[in-house]
Amino acid sequence: MRIKALVPTGHGINCENETRHALEVAGFDTVDLVHLNLLAGGNVDPFNYQLIVFPGGFLDGDDLGAAQACANRIRHSRVNEERLIDRLVRFVHGGGLVLGICNGFQLLTKLGMLPAMDGDYTRREITLTGNDSGRFESRWVTLAVDRASNCIFTKGVERLYLPVRHGEGKIVGRTGDLAGLLVERHLAPVRYASRDTDEPTMDYPFNPNGSEQAIAGLTDSTGRVFGLMPHPESFNHRTNHPRWTREDLREEGEGLAIFRNAARFLREA
């Protein structure tokens, strides 16, 4: 089977090229970069693809809060009377995979597509807000992976080392117990971990933003929708690693495992 990925672009998205590269190396036969306006205009049909990746960037400058204005665009753009958000939900219900990275993850949470605990993909229950440090953070972080999660993107991965680059990465739930519940239900497949112990941590800078329960990424109950703040596409080769000149590393970057998992899942489906 030929597997195809769709990567939206435009309005401040800026990681589309490295995301395409990661998908191609991971084995996707076709990777199309499509401007959000063409998607919203109905010029491109998402149902021709099996995976949609919302890449990192600064959608609309994050001017109203990260991805807030773009969430508004997706909720209020219509393709033949159908709202774009409803199309995306239909895509998920039809078995499609969705991945959101950094700004793309922020978008998915603001749309309500993550964590969608009760299966409602349009109600926001979780948000990503300003880092506790009060500033943009560009640094590498260790991620502990929940092996009990059914997230298809993190299968077989035990630990990841990836860069974060964001000002609004702190996970906060609508209620105080929500983050704990997400961890309990294995809907938080990746969490910020101490570099020394690989255990989830609230300590800065290992947890770079003060995220509740050290959550770095979320999945839905199907395991087919996944979003995370760190950038797996930015660790596509060993020379991306900040200590590659002093350590023995595999040629391929660890981050590509996320994309390979998606490709494998689709081929096996």
Partner 1 sequence: MTHRIEVCLKRTLPDPAGRRIMKRVSTDLGIEFRDLRIADAFIIDRGLSPDDLALITEEVFRDTVVQEAYIDESPDIPYDWLIEVGFRPGVTDNVGRTALEAVERTLGIRLRPEEGLYTRKLYFIEGDISRDDADTIARDLLANDLIQTRRVFARGEDRSEIAVPRVTSQSEAVVRTIDLNVDDDELLRISREGVLALSLEEMQTLRDYFRRADVRALRRSHGLGEHITDCELEALAQTWSEHCKHKIFNARIQYQQPEGTREIDSLFKSYIQGSTERIRSELGNRDFCLSVFKDNAGVIRFDDEWNLVFKVETHNSPSALDPYGGALTGIVGVNRDPFGTGMGCRLIFNTDVFCFAPPDFEGELPPRLLHPRRVFEGVREGVEHGGNKSGIPTVNGAVVFDDRYLGKPLVYCGTGGIMPAVINGRPSHVKRARPGDRIVMTGGRIGKDGIHGATFSSEELHEGSPVSAVQIGDPITQKRMTDFLLMARDRDLYTSITDNGAGGLSSSVGEMARESGGARLFLDRAPLKYPGLQPWEILLSEAQERMTVAVPPEKLDEFMDLANRLDVEATDLGEYSDDGLFTVYWKDRPAAVLPLDFLHEGLPAMRLTARWEPRVHAEPDFPCPADLTATMANLLGRWNICSKERLIRQYDHEVQGGSVVKPLVGAMEDGPADAAVLRPLLDRMRGIAVGCGIAPRYSDIDTYWMMAAVIDEAVRNIVAVGADPDHMAGLDNFCWCDPVQSEKTPDGEYKLAQLVRANEALYDITTVYRIPCISGKDSMKNDYGIGSTRISIPPTVLFSAVGIVPDVRKAVTSDFKRRGDAVYMLGVTRDETGGTEYFASKGFIGNKVPKVADPEQAVALYRALHRAILGGLVASCHDLSDGGLGIALAESSFSGGLGAQIRLADLPLEGVDRDDVALFSETPCRLLVSVGPDAQEAFEHALDGFPCARIGEVTETPRLEVEGLSGETVVNADIEELKRKWQEPLGT
| 144, β-bridge pairs | 159, 191
Does residue 230 have a cis bond before it (omega within 30 degrees)? Answer: no
- Give the residue with the Cβ less far from partner 1, 10 or 180: 10
**Closest distance to partner 1 from the beta carbon of 125 (Å):** 7
Which has the closest alpha carbon to 7: 36, 29, 42? Answer: 36
Among 18, 70, 212, 231, which one carries the catalytic annotation? 231
Would you state the structure tokens that stand for residue 84, as one six-digit string?
Answer: 């774009």
For the record, the structure tokens of 56 come out as 């990192």
Q: Between 103-111 and 68-76, two packed helices, what is the crossing angle to 10 degrees?
A: 50
Site of interaction with partner 1 (CB under 8 A): 9-15, 17-18, 21-22, 35, 37-38, 41, 56-58, 60-65, 68-69, 72-73, 75-77, 110, 124-127, 129-140, 163, 165, 172-174, 210, 231, 233-234, 236-237, 239-240, 242-243, 245-246
Using the minimum distance from each CB to partner 1, give the nearer residue, 130 or 223: 130
Q: With respect to partner 1, which residue has the nearer C-beta, 159 or 174?
A: 174
The sheet with strand 30-35 has its strands ordered as: 30-35, 4-9, 51-54, 97-101, 225-228, 215-219, 190-193, 137-145, 159-166
**Cα gap 166→168, rounded to integer Å:** 6
The answer to whether residue 102 is catalytic is: yes
d(CA 170, CA 160): 19
Q: Which residue is catalytic, options 102, 137, 166, 241? A: 102
Provide the minimum distance between the beta carbon of 178 and partner 1 in the complex, in angstroms, as a whole number.
9
Q: Minimum Å distance from CB 19 to partner 1?
A: 8
In this structure, what token pair is assigned to residue 68? 């807030």
Q: What's the min distance (Å) between Cβ of 148 and partner 1?
A: 26
* Known active-site residue 233: yes
| Nearest CB to partner 1, comparing residues 223 and 236 | 236
Residue whose pair of structure tokens reads 């860069």 in the numeric block: 163
Residue nearer to partner 1 on the CB measure, 2 or 245: 245
Residue 225 CB, shortest distance to partner 1, in Å, is: 18
Look at residue 149 and give its three-state secondary structure. coil
Q: Any catalytic annotation for residue 82? A: no
Q: Which residues are catalytic?
A: 102, 231, 233
